A and B are shown apart, each in its own frame.
Chain A
């Protein structure tokens, strides 16, 4: 079976398929994210703080240029490879100056970073019965808030969470790990993030105190996909791989 990353996503709000492009992340993508999208993420978090809530997004302090540049470099010191990918959406409209009238359709549409992912390609498998086996570790994932994208002129902004998980699974399968993948749900994400991985992404969860490959114990927020689950999840997005 020829494995490919997703090429389109179903957008329920506009009832149509939206074309996406999953590309190798360039520093430009990370700088763009840091300059345009990250400030809005911080503003949302600061607003929530002012309202007496905790920031709902765990990426409040993230710096994608650091993640893209430093972490793969650090991992290469211990002979591990990272894979950094960007999900791009097409910008449909371009905002003009107020005196020039309403936004117009862009002549040469630009590709806007809408989601980012950093994986460790080969990492020891979570389950102790097969520790010698390798798996893919999903390290950082982030989707841009829909409002930012719409503000930038992206008309259709489908949810990209499942696409990011699918990307990690496809990577694992291509590397020969049969879809074995695991991740840690940041505790700052609270119950909302926990439920997202458990219920929406259908990943399995290990209990609190579960021994991890690093020797430490799990805080009960580690999730994983076995080869069976990966196969099911990947098959579920079969339609997303064609244009």
Chain B
């Protein structure tokens, strides 16, 4: 939602302040800068007492309060994780970041999981190489060729199992994140559809009101004509 910021002249302390004039960006940024310089307790004092430096007013949209409410089913809970820089910029601009915050944090988690998997995979590869080297050395030694064979088979078996596990994990994690993205997109699509439906309903309502007004106007004109006729008949 876009909002406009204007200067509160301070003449109306009770209720919402009346914007006295649209302020220039310069004045506005000076006020905001002044707020930034104060410690939080002082800012809270200013907000609570509604006195001190005149604060810019944030004007409300031309919507009935009821229209500002979202359906409970479309609510997306916030994650305690910090927002990304891009998300925070959007938050400052007043945009709803709930859905994409979830998607992005899921993607970040997937990325982290994949990275961990890569690291573990690297360690395992080194271990496999070390195992093979040990097997080679044992084979060379006269002690036991059988032990070397068992060792080598174990290492190979472990590598195969590990690779299978790795692929399964990758498939699982990616699928989960894809599912989240799809769910979120469906919700967003549903919301857009719903908004369009509301708009259509309002337009229809408006149209029917217009028809009604035309009808009433015609009736009124007829009544006026009838009254004029009656008046004319009465006058000798």
Contacts and interface: CB of A to CB of B under 8 A. Distances in A.
Interface of A: 3-5, 7, 21-24, 26-32, 34-36, 39, 42, 46, 58-63, 65-78, 81, 84-85, 88, 90-91, 108-112, 120-121, 123, 137, 139-140, 170-171, 173-175, 184, 186, 188, 212, 214, 216
Nearest to A67: B47
A175 B82 contact: yes
B35 interface: yes
Which size bracket describes the interface of B in this complex?
35 or more
A26 B96 contact: yes
Contacts, number: 163
Contact of A65 (B3, B15, B33, B88): B3
B69 A32 contact: yes
Contacts of B1: 26-28
Given A5-B78, A88-B75, A186-B44, A63 B58 contact: yes
B80 A170 contact: yes
B60 A35 contact: yes
Contacts of B97: 24
A216 B39 CA distance: 9
Interface string B1-18: 101010000000111110
The 5 closest A-B pairs by CB, nearest first: A61-B50, A174-B80, A74-B35, A65-B58, A214-B39
Interface string B59-91: 011010100111111011111111100001001
Contacts of B32: 70, 73-74, 77
A45 B84 CA distance: 40
Nearest to B71: A108
B42 to A, nearest CB: 9
Question: Which of A3, A69, A90 has the largest count of B CB atoms less than 10 A from its CB?
Answer: A69
14 contacts: A28-B96, A30-B58, A61-B49, A63-B57, A65-B3, A66-B55, A70-B58, A72-B92, A73-B92, A81-B83, A111-B70, A120-B40, A173-B80, A184-B41
Contacts of B37: 78
B132 interface: no
Contacts of A121: 82
